Amino acid sequence: MNDFVRHDLSAARVLLIEDDEILAAMVQEVLEGRGLTVTVASHPEVGLALHAVHRADLILLDRMFPGADGLDTLRHLRDKGDAVPIILLTSRGELGDKLEGLGEGADDYMGKPFSVDELEARIRALLRRARPSPALPPDTSVHGPFTIDWAAMRVEREGQVLDLTPQEFRVLSHLIRTPDRPVPRAELLEKAWPPDGRPASPRTVDVYVTRLRSKLGRESDHPWILTLDGEGYSWNG
């Protein structure tokens, strides 16, 4: 699970507005253990005051408080033109409540109880979208959380270089560059291996795909390489 600790979160400030002290303490402890700076406010008015003094990069906002509705806080921020990413946290899981929150300007919505791993994945996704992307050097492209330097055969996941062998890189490269269809094992053997080093068995491809999956990691339940029965593999970026 510590695979979630990434460079793009290391300086991010999260404001958690939540009146459940036990839940707030648990979320704060887990997220701070993974590189985030988390400030907790037990009431929307306190949260707004903290945000005004030390602007948060993202707000986790409970929906219901004694005598207050988190949607009022959401509306207040959006009416002021504040585009800070906001994830609503609530035990109200009805579709109408979710649509209402999203319609008022929330960026995401999580019903309680929730997985902190999934919460962090959503935080990370929102932070990536909210932060401007730096200019990429030549021969470099971004695919999901991965930055690929094609000339150097180097893959980074949010600032951390993955330890890929040249052959693993060639397999990954062909999958990414063939995004619109399944890639059969025989094609990977032909296109991703040099002629003088091509293995005899197509099942060797399975071994390399397994290694790649392990090194690429997962984001929540999102595998980066899909297995398509009877057809081969496909990039899921």
Residue 225 in tokens: 């390489």
Domains 2-130 and 140-235 share a fold: no
Nearest-angstrom CA–CA distance, 46 and 10: 25
pTM value > 0.85: no
Residue 80 in tokens: 């002021």
* Pick from 199, 180, 182: nearest CA to 190: 199
Res 205: pLDDT: 93
Say which residues have a Cβ less than 8 Å from residue 173's Cβ, sequence separation at least 6.
148, 150, 192
Res 6: pLDDT: 39
CA atoms within 13 A on the CB side of 33: 11
**How many residues are given for the chain?**
237
Res 199: pLDDT: 85
Res 8: pLDDT: 47
Residue 231 in tokens: 């057809």
Residue bearing the bigger pLDDT, 8 or 141? 141
User: DSSP of 179-234, one letter per residue?
Assistant: TTS-B-HHHHHHHHS-GGG--S-THHHHHHHHHHHHHH--BTTB-SEEEETTTEEE
Residue-wise pLDDT for 71-102, tens only, equals 899 999 998 888 899 999 887 655 666 777 78
Nearest-angstrom CA–CA distance, 136 and 142: 9
User: DSSP of 43-74, one letter per residue?
Assistant: SHHHHHHHHHHS--SEEEEESEETTEEHHHHH
Residue 62 in tokens: 């409970």
Q: What is the CATH number of domain 140-235?
A: 1.10.10.10
Paired with 29 in beta bridges are none
Residue 134 in tokens: 């730096």
Res 58: pLDDT: 95
Contact at 8 Å (CB) between 25 and 43? no
* Pick from 182, 225, 219, 231: nearest CA to 207: 225
Sketch the domain layout of the chain as residue ranges.
2-130, 140-235
Res 134: pLDDT: 62
Nearest-angstrom CA–CA distance, 237 and 222: 9
Nearest-angstrom CA–CA distance, 111 and 115: 10
Residue-wise pLDDT for 19-44, tens only, equals 999 999 999 999 998 888 999 999 99
Residue-wise pLDDT for 154-201, tens only, equals 999 878 899 999 999 999 999 999 877 889 999 999 999 998 888 888
CA distances from 92 to 56, 119, 138, 204 (A): 25, 17, 48, 49
Indicate the class that CATH gives domain 2-130: alpha beta
Name the helix (H) or strand (E) containing 27.
helix 21-33
